[in-house]
Amino acid sequence: MNPPRGMRDFLPAEKARRERVLAVVRDRYRAHGFDEIETPVVEDYDRLHAGIGGDNEKLAFNVLKRGLDAAGIRAAADDATGVDTRALSDLGLRYDLTVPLARFYATHRAELPAVFRSIQMAPVWRAERPQKGRYRQFVQCDIDIIGDASGRAEAELLAASLDTLDALGLEGGSIRINDRRALDWMLDSFGFTAEERPGVLITIDKLDKIGPDGVVAELSGRGASAAAVDAFRAFLLRPQTREFRPYGEGQIRKALPDGAPDDIVAHLVAIGDAVGAARATTGEVLLGGVPLRFDPFLVRGMGYYTGTIFELAHPSVDYSLGGGGRYDGMIGRFLGQDVPAVGFSIGFERIVELLDSTEDASASAVVLVHDRDVAVADLVGLKASLIAGGTRVRLEQRTKNLKALLERAAADGYTAFATVSQGQTADDLQIKPLS
């Protein structure tokens, strides 16, 4: 009797831990001026398969049309091309929160401020191949800024996300940052053609896993222009290409080929200055400058990114804890005119696994262990009096194995207990810690 593959049940203690993390994330993002919205779990099929969701579109769970009969299903089947899912489905479960946000903004633009800062924290669904750390249902925590084309929007997102990581007890986080325009310019400077670029980006995205030699070998195997591959290999092997320096104009220019566009460099430098100012205000000691690192090989796979892209890192793990970027072209597909937009998504499931599961020590939670003969009215009255004082209360009838009962309560997040006998009042209770 297990849940569907790739989906999970959460026992009370785990559910409470997840809710505590969500509460911290919500609190910090709201403090930074973001407002929470909610969208339906389903969207129109055509919207989810409009070519803006990248590979995630292939992982969408589609919803069969209502009232579809056997004849309709047979009509959708074609021996030559397989099943036409569009003929079978008119809705689908959302596979991320960005496409629904774009639709939401197009629907409610007249009711929203000129620069809209949104929070979305909700489950999404993908038909993944289930494995460790990869689920078919999981929670995303997104913040987005729509209507601001300046670097201020990126700086606000990054400052808010670093602040949130600190509030969760994961101090020391940093962000890798790049710009898709800089990446495109770099590939042009090496001589890769526009037709080669999608495959080249896929290979470059593997640099941390397979190394420079592996990337060069794979590019050659893809049939990329030999001269471009040689130029890229020479660039990869330069000592200064991946050399660490404090974030700023010097690091950015050293990490790119000579002649990088001044406007892109200035945009990235301004973001760093703004994030540095925010971190200095919070009293953060910045060793080596702001907690940003320019990475000219950061790709991020979503095809809708148009500018700045970033990934959140923490020294305790070798994988990212979130990321995002600018997607100025997406909302225009729904509105018919471009609207600047940039977003950041914290990897909620990964962060929950990193955090200590200990219950919040400031929360008072008491188990009242009562004898069988205590009147129900007395028990409910005692419980109500404690609740009125701000305490969480559970009633448990005494069992022979009291130790096991209390251990179970502690595992569920309760911090104290009291025994209740017939005739006891609230003043008679002796509350003891569960430790």
Percentage above 70 pLDDT, the chain: 91
Q: Is the pLDDT of residue 285 over 90?
A: no
Can you tell me the mean pLDDT for 146-175? 94
Q: Record the tokens describing residue 146, joined without a space.
A: 């729509």
Show the beta-strand stretches assigned E in 153-195.
Answer: 174-179
Return the higher-pLDDT residue of 139 and 75.
139
77-78 and 82-83: which strand pairing? Answer: antiparallel
Can you tell me the mean pLDDT for 180-185? 94
Q: Record the tokens describing residue 199, joined without a space.
A: 């495959």
Q: Record the tokens describing residue 270, joined without a space.
A: 């301004």
Residue 17 lies in a domain: no
Residue of 206, 187, 177 lying closest to 295 (CA atoms): 177
| Residue count (the chain) | 435
**Average predicted confidence (pLDDT) for the chain:** 88
Whole-number Å distance between alpha carbons of 108 and 105:
5
Element (H, E) at 215: helix 207-221
> With bands split at pLDDT 50, 70 and 90, how would you rate the model's confidence at 397?
very high
Which pLDDT score is estimated for 370? 95
Which pLDDT score is estimated for 282? 58
Q: Is the pLDDT of residue 286 over 50?
A: no
Can you tell me the mean pLDDT for 123-140? 90
* Cβ burial, residue 53 (10 Å; 0-12/13-18/19+): buried
Query: Going by C-beta distance under 8 Å and a sequence separation of 6 or more, which residues neighbour residue 139?
Result: 18, 22, 121, 122, 123, 124, 348, 349
Cβ atoms within 10 Å, residue 232: 26
Q: Locate tokens 């101090």: which residue?
A: 171
Q: Is the pLDDT of residue 300 over 80?
A: yes
> With bands split at pLDDT 50, 70 and 90, how would you rate the model's confidence at 67?
confident
Residue 72's identity, in one-letter code, is G
Residue 402 lies in a domain: yes
Check if the beta carbon of residue 117 is closer than 8 Å to that of residue 143: yes
Question: Which residues are bridge partners to 141 per DSSP?
Answer: 121, 346
Range of the domain at 420: 365-433
Which pLDDT score is estimated for 153? 96
Residue 409 lies in a domain: yes
Residue 96 lies in a domain: no
Residue of 353, 344, 349, 309 lying closest to 97 (CA atoms): 344
C-alpha distance from residue 48 to each of 58, 73, 323, 420, 430 (Å): 10, 21, 21, 57, 58
Residue 238's identity, in one-letter code, is R
End-to-end CA distance of the chain: 34
Note the pLDDT tens digit of each residue in 356-370: 765 554 568 999 999
For the ranges 44-58, 108-122, 228-242, 310-324, the maximum mean pLDDT occurs at 108-122
Q: Is 174 helix (H, G, I), strand (E, B) or coil?
A: strand
Backbone phi and psi for residue 79, each to the nearest 5 degrees, phi listed first: -60, -30
Q: Is the pLDDT of residue 100 over 80?
A: yes
Helices 151-167 and 262-281: crossing angle in degrees, nearest 10, is 40
Which pLDDT score is estimated for 52? 74
Whole-number Å distance between alpha carbons of 125 and 95:
5
Question: Which residues are bridge partners to 432 per DSSP?
Answer: 417
Q: Locate tokens 């700045």: which residue?
A: 308
Residue 222 lies in a domain: no
Return the higher-pLDDT residue of 279 and 146.
146
Whole-number Å distance between alpha carbons of 425 and 313:
54
Which pLDDT score is estimated for 287? 42
Which pLDDT score is estimated for 318? 85
Which pLDDT score is estimated for 75? 66
Please work out, in degrees rounded to the nearest 5, the angle formed at the alpha carbon of residue 365 by the alpha carbons of 370 and 406: 50
Check if the beta carbon of residue 188 is closer than 8 Å to that of residue 258: no
* Cβ burial, residue 332 (10 Å; 0-12/13-18/19+): middle
Residue 149 lies in a domain: no
Residue 358 lies in a domain: no
62-64 and 137-146: which strand pairing? Answer: unpaired
* Cβ burial, residue 288 (10 Å; 0-12/13-18/19+): exposed
Please tell me the total count of domains within the chain.
Answer: 1
Residue 26's identity, in one-letter code, is R
Whole-number Å distance between alpha carbons of 231 and 190:
6
Note the pLDDT tens digit of each residue in 1-22: 899 999 999 998 889 899 999 9
> With bands split at pLDDT 50, 70 and 90, how would you rate the model's confidence at 83?
low
Can you tell me the mean pLDDT for 99-116? 94
Residue 388 lies in a domain: yes
